[in-house]
Structure 1
């Protein structure tokens, strides 16, 4: 690794069009899992000017059963209305009541249909066959000691800026803000640790008049918005990272009145780097939102983060990347790869062996992951904005952020050491 460099990560707010789509898709996942813990969901969402469209494959017999509810094309009575209510409530919670995108008046289309029988036969457990992975693919997990949450600092601060602004918008403390926003933080690293913020970018949708340029520009109102954003940055970033040399770009286009799905169409799964590690670690390519936990794009990525975080928390490495790989319909992972980037206190191969000896992980099969982390619950709505990782585990939420594997890892490594001594 280079010891001195600049690194940048970005985040987007809950009102960003792609994040609106992610939150709608995960609201559907939560709805179906609340009806049936074994529900299968692959829900994609498109949002654009005054239009919301969902589609994909589902299996949730209390809601959709082509045999039982054939007279209503598979839908239980009232189910389609309930889905629409959940979608509109999600948009309302985000705060969209604009002429170009309004939770109450936007048109809504539901194109969900039954899950492919060929996918189901590969995933379902039957006879001596264990549940298989819902798709092939590679998944990565990552952790580092740059922040107490064991996340890359650039991404963590980018998320925090937008979370603070959203909280102020909802509370009325910043009434000039609208839902759509983006942030970006650049840090200078020396000896592998962040020492200075060289640049901060914040673009936020705003009410009329808060522009720096254009027909509606008002210098005093723009100064209010600019000073507010700088205050948020100062409250989020550690003071030692900020200085007179930090460069700010606040609404650099000069105006941001038209935003959200009216300004740019949104699709589920287009912010996968925002969702994960801000570019500080590899990504296998699969999105999370809209998928039930039999899809290893989601559950195995959570398991990989869980493992990497506990390795760093245990003091076994300062940085850790983990890769898992699966084949559709096959229960056992094809590979497990650990890379501590030269920061490990034991060999990476020893960590791989230790993970394999922890019985509670269930061999990292899809069912083993879902069972150990308790993923068959409606816990995904809160993941769909401000990142799936680095969040505090609370109640049933974010179980992959727990640090309850530290002692198991140390015990498994102790077993290995005992074998070597023998």
Structure 2
């Protein structure tokens, strides 16, 4: 039996966090292939990217496998990475967009992997790897996300906007947040602890000075009444935080997968998203699972929904589809499983087609979560649409 009253905590990290710098660069590589590939005559469905990035003091290494036009050169990729670092805001002596040494070690995709993924003869495109992927949705926020991760993201997003606008120009790009939420009768009701650690450009500022700067953004981010006199604050609890980003801590692509998803409130299959084109089901099937779970909840079929999908490399159909409504559903899980399998083609090709994933829409996903975002006109965050809700509602009636 699930608990009704408890504390739950989730964290977020900003776009300037070392690992997020790497996620951003890796996703910029994916976007470059989808943006430029068609201009050189490539069918977007034939493009392949699996890019990993490491960043440390004034050094960036981009490695992995690609398939696409030779015109997307290593020099171009290095330039794209440099511009991403500039946009994030790094102009410090230990990590500067203009002077950092950027090494590109991308090479052609393995032919052994390609033969499993590519369509050939009567064979449909297969999954780019084996694995399990999860999607989740709940009614804790209007975006159907768990409250702790949603508000942890929102704090840092507001701080980032203030930094970029000049309203809080003393803040640096590197920051982390953490929100502990008290649940009562299964509903989130207040924040009991707030953690914010943010880089600052003025070394003379104390933790109390930084708290005064960031507190308005925390108050704006959280629902009214969630912060009270009993809320405990931890702002830059170690003191000075001037050295930030990869100069302070080495970054790697894919190390913030719980930040990217549901903040630990739902299972995670283990695969990272950033740097992967959508033939990699680690990414595309996780998007599809979120899409289906969100539509189940939006349709009023359940208050909470977890979906698991599984795949084998080179196999086009999902091996399994599992639904858990956590005792909140008005239809049986087996019925929902059947309906979901009918309303959406969950093959790798079917997912990419339904959600139109062969587009340059990925760099924007690399910070502040892949889920709980608004669908965009150019197809960004298409997996956040609720356009299947009416169909699902009728199908299970």
TM-score, scaled relative to structure 2: 0.96
**Cα distance, 1:35 vs structure 2:** 2.5
Q: Which residue in the other structure is 1:5 paired with?
A: 6
Are 2:300 and 2:393, in contact at CA under 8 Å, matched by a contact in 1? no
Structure 1 CA distance for aligned equivalents of residues 144 and 131 of structure 2: 25
1:44 aligns with 2:52: yes
**Cα distance, 1:390 vs structure 2:** 0.2
Structure 1 CA distance for aligned equivalents of residues 189 and 268 of structure 2: 26
Structure 1 CA distance for aligned equivalents of residues 370 and 296 of structure 2: 19
Deviations, residues 100-141 of structure 1 (Å, cap 9, x unaligned): 000000001000000000000000000110000000000000
**Cα distance, 1:412 vs structure 2:** 2.4
Structure 2 CA distance for aligned equivalents of residues 340 and 228 of structure 1: 42
1:248 aligns with 2:229: no
Structure 2 CA distance for aligned equivalents of residues 254 and 7 of structure 1: 26
Q: Which residue in the other structure is 2:170 paired with?
A: 176
Structure 2 CA distance for aligned equivalents of residues 211 and 278 of structure 1: 31
Structure 1 CA distance for aligned equivalents of residues 340 and 203 of structure 2: 57
List runs of 5+ in structure 1 lacking aligned partners.
Answer: 64-75, 213-221, 415-422
Q: Which has the larger radius of gyration?
A: 1
Q: Select the residue among 263, 270, 288 that pairs with 1:303.
A: 288
**Cα distance, 1:223 vs structure 2:** 3.6
Structure 1 CA distance for aligned equivalents of residues 157 and 222 of structure 2: 13
Q: Which residue in the other structure is 2:34 paired with?
A: 33
Deviations, residues 146-175 of structure 1 (Å, cap 9, x unaligned): 000000110000000000111111111011
Q: Select the residue among 382, 386, 389 that pairs with 1:406.
A: 389
Q: Select the residue among 317, 320, 330 that pairs with 2:302.
A: 317
Are 2:210 and 2:236, in contact at CA under 8 Å, matched by a contact in 1? no
Question: What secondary structure is seen at the aligned counterpart in 2 of 1:240?
Answer: coil
Q: Which residue in the other structure is 2:142 paired with?
A: 148
| Structure 1 range deviating more: 27-36 or 5-14 | 27-36
Q: Which residue in the other structure is 1:90 paired with?
A: 84
Are 1:355 and 1:412, in contact at CA under 8 Å, matched by a contact in 2? no
**Cα distance, 1:18 vs structure 2:** 0.1
Please list, as runs of the form range in 1=range in 2, the aligned pairs for 1:95-134 lying within 5 A after superposition: 95-134=89-128
1:164 aligns with 2:158: yes
Structure 2 CA distance for aligned equivalents of residues 356 and 385 of structure 1: 31
Q: Paired residues, what number?
A: 388
Are 1:357 and 1:412, in contact at CA under 8 Å, matched by a contact in 2? no
Q: Select the residue among 282, 291, 316 that pairs with 1:331.
A: 316
